[in-house]
Amino acid sequence: MAIIQNIETTLKSGETVIVRSANNHDALSALNIQRSVIAENEYVITTSHEFRNTEFHYQENIQKISENPKELFLVAEVKNEVIGWIIFHTPSLERRSHIGEFGMMISNEWRGRGIGKMLLISLLNWAVEHPSIEKIGLEVFSTNMNAIRLYKNLGFIEEGKRIKQIKIGPNSYIDVIHMYKFVK
């Protein structure tokens, strides 16, 4: 079971943040964060009218990940409120057993205060100790400068770029950047 010990950190602004493995009760909060990030219409592929996930989907996902020793679903919590999450998925094929990819989202009002960094460092620390995970990957819109800065600061390297992979309007496109980091 990929479950980590709770990690407690105090922000410069004084609040205590707990990074911990997600449980069933986090499903609705995690869903609401995804909904609000999608509504911002800037950082993710899915549009609000296409978004079908429900609290139940999240509950299922949390359950599945908690039973899979190679996957991780972490949340960041302040004063009993979930304010961000990171999900790490791995493929099931044997020849891809050394890799995995993550996605992460922080509530708008909590961004730029180190929460994303804490979640990603927690994932990396777990991955370093993991017996089979070697390479961590991600995809990010080329326009998402805050995310790219965070990933680069933590040692992720650009692996390639899919040009005009996202079409946001007539004659308006975004490239998708693939990044990776070896943890072994």
Give me the residues that bind ligand COA (CB under 6 A), please.
37, 43, 104-106, 111-117, 140, 144, 146-147, 149-150, 153
Residue type present at position 137: G
CB of residue 64 to ligand COA, shortest distance in Å: 21
Q: Which is nearer to ligand COA, 28 or 121 (CB)?
A: 121
Q: Which is nearer to ligand COA, 63 or 124 (CB)?
A: 124
CB of residue 94 to ligand COA, shortest distance in Å: 27
Q: Which residue is nearest to ligand COA (CB)?
A: 116
Locate all alpha helices (DSSP H) within 9-106, ordered by sequence.
27-40, 55-67
Q: Which is nearer to ligand COA, 37 or 75 (CB)?
A: 37
Which residues does 74 contact at the CB level (< 8 Å), separation at least 6? Answer: 4, 19, 20, 21, 22, 85, 86, 119, 122, 123
Q: Which is nearer to ligand COA, 120 or 183 (CB)?
A: 120
CB of residue 72 to ligand COA, shortest distance in Å: 16
Which residues does 89 contact at the CB level (< 8 Å), separation at least 6? Answer: 65, 71, 100, 101, 102
Q: Which is nearer to ligand COA, 117 or 135 (CB)?
A: 117
Beta bridge partners of 137: 101, 180
Q: How far is CA 63 from CA 119, 120, 164, in A?
A: 19, 21, 36
CB of residue 117 to ligand COA, shortest distance in Å: 3
CB of residue 151 to ligand COA, shortest distance in Å: 8
Take residue 181 and report the two structure tokens written for it: 């980091």
